[in-house]
């Protein structure tokens, strides 16, 4: 695997963030009287003609508070299929080689009053090198306080780096996490960014610092939202609303999500790619 020192730094941090998030989520399960813990399943990528295509670790927990939460890390390299390479930043049929490392998280909660959430950060190299990622909140029963607190955390992470980031990336999340065939947004937003290019070590350090702050902001704010709502009473109607919302979430991830397409097109682990799907959902 042709993996640079910068890529290794990013990989090490993604793995450390995974460990901190999983510990924080297991702590919440203990507070709820549950002994649920993450189960980690390694996987190896296969690519014809590539002796070292990489792989990853799928972390999955099903508990009392977290009905299903996946925290995946992967580090892969290889060649994009020619028809897909043209759609990837910095790549193309003449330059299909890539490396990618990142963390991806989706949590579906047992209590309908606790919001589902998605977080992903990544570092890719093609003909260019760049960071991307973000975090977005996906409640079936939105609360203004939860939405405000989540956005405040993302806004603060952005403000430490560039005064334009939050307005730009929150609008990008609003536009991206939209389900055209339903005419609705997937959730209440957050931030989404991509193609933060790293042509030199200075740019890498700057964009890596921002990406770390996004991950740390998520780690700070989301457990607080979970603890705020996890003991709320809920009705059969609340649960029905949650299951219908999960159907919308699944539709977006299967039809529109870039990460799903990237994983499928690059020979990723199917269970890891589809861990974003909810454990239960309904369609009327």
Give buried/exposed letters for 60-90 (b at 16+ CB in 10 A, else e): bbbbbbbbbbbbbbbbbbbbbeeebbeebeb
Report whether 112 contacts 141 (CB < 8 A). yes
- Using alpha carbons, list the distances in angstroms from residue 158 to 20, 107, 154, 210, 278: 21, 23, 6, 7, 30
225 burial class (0-12, 13-18, 19+ CB within 10 angstroms)? buried
Q: Dump strand ranges (E) for 158-206.
A: 178-179, 184-185, 189-197
The span from the CA of 206 to the CA of 212, in Å, is: 10
Write down the catalytic residue from 118, 161, 185, 195. Answer: 118
Q: Which among 134, 196, 204 has a CA at the least distance from the CA of 169?
A: 134
3-state secondary structure of 151: helix
The CB-side HSE value for 158 (13 A sphere, CA atoms) comes to: 21
Bridge partners, 185 (sequence order)? 178
Bridging pattern class, strands 129-138 and 97-109: unpaired
The span from the CA of 157 to the CA of 213, in Å, is: 6
Known catalytic membership, residue 118: yes
> Which residues are catalytically annotated?
118
């Amino acid at each position: 695997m042709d993996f640079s020192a910068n890529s290794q730094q990013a990989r090490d941090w993604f793995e450390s963030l995974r460990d901190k998030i999983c510990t924080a989520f297991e702590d919440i399960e203990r507070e709820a009287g549950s002994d649920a813990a993450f189960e980690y399943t390694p996987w190896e990528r296969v690519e014809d003609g590539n002796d070292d295509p990489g792989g990853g670790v799928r972390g999955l927990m099903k508990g009392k508070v977290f009905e299903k939460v996946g925290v995946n890390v992967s580090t892969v390299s290889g060649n994009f299929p020619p028809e897909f390479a043209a759609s990837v930043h910095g790549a193309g049929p003449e330059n299909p080689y890539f490396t990618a490392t990142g963390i991806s998280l989706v949590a579906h909660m047992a209590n309908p009053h606790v919001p589902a959430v998605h977080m992903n950060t990544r570092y890719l190299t093609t003909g260019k090198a760049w960071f991307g990622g973000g975090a977005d909140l996906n409640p079936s029963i939105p609360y203004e306080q939860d939405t405000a607190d989540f956005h405040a955390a993302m806004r603060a992470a952005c403000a430490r780096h560039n005064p334009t980031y939050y307005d730009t990336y929150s609008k990008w999340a609003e536009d991206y996490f939209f389900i055209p065939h339903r005419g609705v947004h997937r959730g209440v937003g957050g931030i989404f960014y991509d193609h933060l290019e790293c042509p030199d070590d200075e740019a890498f350090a700057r964009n890596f610092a921002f990406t770390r702050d996004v991950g740390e902001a998520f780690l700070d704010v989301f457990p607080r939202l979970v603890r705020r709502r996890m003991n709320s009473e809920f009705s059969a109607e609340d649960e029905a609303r949650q299951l219908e919302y999960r159907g919308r979430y699944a539709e977006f991830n299967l039809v529109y999500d870039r990460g799903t397409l990237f994983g499928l097109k690059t020979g990723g682990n199917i269970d890891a790619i589809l861990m974003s799907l909810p454990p239960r959902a309904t369609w009327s």
